[in-house]
Amino acid sequence: PPSISMSMLTSLVKIIGYAAGPFILEKYVFAAPAASLGLVSGATLVLPRAFGLVILSNLVLGSLTTFYLGFGIVGAARKKYGIKYPTMHVTSQKEGDDAHMFNCAQRVHGNTLESLPALLALSIVGGLKHPIATALAGLLWSFSRIQWAKGYMSGEPGKRYESFWGLHVWTSIMILLLASISTAVSLLMGTPLA
């Protein structure tokens, strides 16, 4: 139906609008402080000093968020609903029963694991040229992933996007995609990343 495609288009425009924010901040608000950080020289690779923020917010915090959703959320659901290892999913008789609630918790972690490789790879590439925007995207991913999970674990998976922050799981990935594309174009054009 036309209303579905229009709402999808509206959501995409919103995500792109939100995704532009960190790049604008990096260019116009943090430009002088970022330039004053200088460069750290390695054997074969030169990284912006602010790349340390990418490591902390995207790689470390992203991993900790994933561990929390796996051990904290799924582990607690296993204990609460009596689901023993190695069972990954259980057959649900009706929405809201223990099996359904466990499956919702398990799916939260599964979806997080599905998007984690993209988060990490895009963070490493995008952070070479846009370390601040990339680090902000990492913070957004972790925070919004927890909010997204709360909605999903309500037992009604459709509620994962009811929170303002739930949608921003994908905004963060869009920011990282744009940062990585910008890095790739700079490399292809032979222009400096800094």
Q: What is the pLDDT of residues 154-163, one digit of tens each?
A: 888 888 888 8
Answer for the pair 58, 127: CB distance below 8 angstroms, yes or no. yes
**Amino acid identity for residue 86 in this structure:** P
- What's the angle, vertex CA 66, arms to CA 62 and CA 71, rounded to 5? 145
Residue 41, pLDDT score: 45
Residue 109, pLDDT score: 94
Residue 33, pLDDT score: 53
> What count of other Cβ atoms lies within 10 Å of the Cβ of residue 33?
10
What is the spatial distance between Cα 85 and Cα 75, in angstroms, rounded to a whole number? 10
Q: What tokens appear for 161 in the block?
A: 């996007």
Residue 32, pLDDT score: 57
Bridge partners (DSSP) of residue 46 are 41
**Amino acid identity for residue 111 in this structure:** N
Residue 15, pLDDT score: 79
Residue 38, pLDDT score: 52
Count CA atoms within 13 Å of residue 193 on its CB side.
23
Residue 43, pLDDT score: 38
Bridge partners (DSSP) of residue 41 are 46
Residue 84's contacts (CB-CB under 8 Å, 6 or more residues apart) are 78
Which element (helix H / strand E) includes 40? strand 39-41
Low-confidence ranges of the chain (pLDDT < 50): 1-3, 37, 39-43
What is the spatial distance between Cα 17 and Cα 149, in angstroms, rounded to a whole number? 23
